[in-house]
């Protein structure tokens, strides 16, 4: 992988990839043992190949990867991986310090790199616009600010917890699994979720379209965009069997672009970026281990994979940090004040409503990417630079 994946015109206007990226990889997946064994192999390769870092927020995904990598390093007599953590002073929703300390003390890790972030990761800050000028439009928008981490590190392997939110979660079949396995009287919510899981695609598509009506309807999107986004939501819903649904998630174009584009960004700074939870061998093992019915849900999966590595308080955690406040500030507000329009296809976007959203106290995260589209247009810059056009 040497160049960035680019979005189609329609994808640009709906702020993200659509559809699948292909379905050939299952044939090449090698499976030896279960999911934990596959994860252990990936992190062992990473920690024994030279300097190894872990992008560590304190959330469950990155905590699991850090714990796996630390165990692998000590088992193989190599230096511990170095956690790399961003902190956001003054942003309570992004404060993970208690969880970070709990994990680090449990693992006995004392060396780490901590970066204090104020406006360095904003959507249109100096770092983002420098890379927008050079790379053009790349999804997701945070790829342009990841070099804040990469530039601080000596060349090596960088591990992330990416993929946890996608793969270490319940699936469409999970409510049915719970109905099948639990002996207590099911809740109304569980019965409703089970009925939704069994609903045919046409019913699910109608429900997805209805979600664009009401207070959370993202009013800057027009009906043509709603149709594309509703179809994507149904695609993400996936097949009913756990193993088939797991492979379907792996092949989502959004999954592939998010991981592959981050890999290219890291390579520009001399690093090999790896996402253990989302690697092919791990996904294959997870699909096989789950079979048709899968598992009880996210906490059950974390306990299966990390009960010997982390405190149960971490594995069963339900809270989650939010980093959106660090993405929007004075630079973005100044852009909106000077925005003259014309960057978007009116079939998909109502620009006045988009500008209204940008002017709101906390714009929807999906509009951050659209702000980068608008900024490139305002600067008369191409979405894809000439020297990066694919022949």
Which single residue is written with the structure tokens 């329009």?
341
Question: 81 to each of 43, 50, 53, 75, 113, how far by Cα in Å?
Answer: 10, 10, 5, 13, 11
Residue 271's closest CA among 157, 119, 136?
Answer: 157
- Residue-wise pLDDT for 99-151, tens only, equals 999 999 999 999 999 999 888 999 999 999 999 999 999 999 999 999 999 99
The answer to whether the beta carbons of residues 176 and 297 sit under 8 Å apart is: no
Long-range CB contacts (< 8 A, 24+ apart) of 303-311?
304/35, 304/36, 305/35, 305/36, 305/39, 305/64, 305/168, 306/64, 306/67, 306/68, 309/64, 309/67, 309/68, 309/71, 310/63, 310/64, 310/67, 310/103, 310/106, 311/102, 311/106
The tens digit of pLDDT for each residue in 55-111 reads 999 999 999 999 999 999 999 999 999 999 998 888 888 888 999 999 999 999 999
Q: Which residues contact 386 (CB under 8 A, 6 or more apart)?
A: none
pLDDT in tens, 172-187: 999 999 999 988 889 9
Mean pLDDT, rounded, for 245-249:
96
Average pLDDT over the chain, rounded to whole? 93
Read off the pLDDT of each residue in 222-230 and give the average, rounded to a whole number: 96
What pLDDT shows up at residue 26?
63
Domain residue ranges of the chain, discontinuous segments joined by +: 29-169+243-324, 174-237, 333-385
pLDDT band at 391 (very low <50, low <70, confident <90, very high): very low
Q: What confidence category does residue 320 fall into, taking pLDDT thresholds of 50, 70 and 90? A: confident
pLDDT score of 27 = 54
61: tokens are: 């995904």
Tokens of 330: 């004075």
Q: Which of 57-61, 112-116, 213-217, 351-355 has the lowest mean pLDDT?
A: 213-217
Query: Is residue 216 scored above 70 in pLDDT?
Result: no
CA–CA dist 163, 258 (Å, integer): 10
C-alpha–C-alpha distance, residues 135 and 144, integer Å: 9
113 Cβ neighbours under 8 A, 6+ residues apart: 53, 82, 83, 84, 85, 152, 153
Nearest-angstrom CA–CA distance, 5 and 260: 8
CA distances from 384 to 3, 76, 263, 281 (A): 11, 44, 18, 33
Fold of 29-169+243-324: Rossmann fold (3.40.50)
350 pLDDT higher than 70: yes
* 36 CB neighbour count, 10 Å cutoff: 19
| Least confident span in 33-42, 89-98, 242-251, 340-349 | 89-98
Sign of CA dihedral 113, 114, 118, 124: positive
């Amino acid at each position: 992988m040497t160049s960035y994946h680019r979005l189609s015109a329609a994808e640009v206007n709906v702020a993200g990839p659509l559809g699948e990226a292909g379905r050939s990889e299952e044939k090449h997946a090698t499976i030896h043992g279960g999911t934990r064994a596959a994860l252990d192999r990936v992190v062992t390769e990473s920690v024994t190949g030279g300097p190894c870092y872990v992008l560590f927020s304190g959330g469950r995904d990155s905590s699991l990867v850090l714990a796996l990598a630390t165990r692998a390093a000590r088992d193989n007599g190599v230096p511990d991986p170095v956690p790399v953590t961003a902190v956001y002073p003054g942003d309570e929703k992004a404060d993970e310090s208690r969880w970070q300390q709990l994990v680090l003390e449990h693992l006995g890790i004392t060396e780490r790199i901590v970066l204090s972030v104020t406006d360095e990761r904003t959507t249109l800050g100096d770092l983002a616009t420098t890379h927008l000028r050079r790379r053009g439009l790349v999804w997701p928008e945070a790829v342009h600010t990841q070099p804040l981490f990469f530039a601080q590190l000596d060349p090596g392997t960088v591990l992330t917890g990416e993929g946890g939110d996608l793969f270490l979660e319940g699936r469409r079949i999970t409510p049915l699994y719970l109905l099948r396995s639990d002996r207590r009287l099911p809740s109304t919510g569980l019965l409703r979720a089970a009925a939704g899981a069994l609903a045919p695609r046409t019913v699910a598509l109608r429900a997805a379209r209805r979600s664009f009506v009401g207070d959370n309807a993202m009013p800057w999107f027009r009906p043509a965009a709603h149709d594309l986004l509703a179809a994507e939501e149904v695609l993400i819903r996936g097949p009913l069997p756990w193993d088939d649904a797991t492979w379907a998630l792996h092949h989502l174009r959004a999954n592939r672009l998010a991981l592959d584009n981050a890999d290219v960004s890291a390579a520009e700074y001399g690093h090999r970026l790896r996402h253990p939870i989302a690697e092919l061998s791990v996904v294959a093992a997870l699909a096989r281990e789950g079979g048709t019915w899968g598992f009880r849900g996210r906490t059950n999966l974390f306990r299966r994979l990390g009960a010997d590595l982390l405190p149960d308080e971490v594995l069963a955690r339900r809270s989650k940090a939010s980093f959106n406040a660090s993405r929007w500030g004075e630079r973005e507000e100044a852009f909106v004040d000077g925005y003259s329009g014309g960057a978007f296809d009116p079939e998909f976007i109502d620009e006045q409503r988009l500008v209204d959203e940008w002017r709101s106290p906390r714009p929807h995260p999906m509009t951050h990417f659209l702000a980068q589209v608008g900024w490139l247009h305002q600067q008369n810059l191409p979405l894809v630079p000439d020297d990066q056009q694919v022949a």
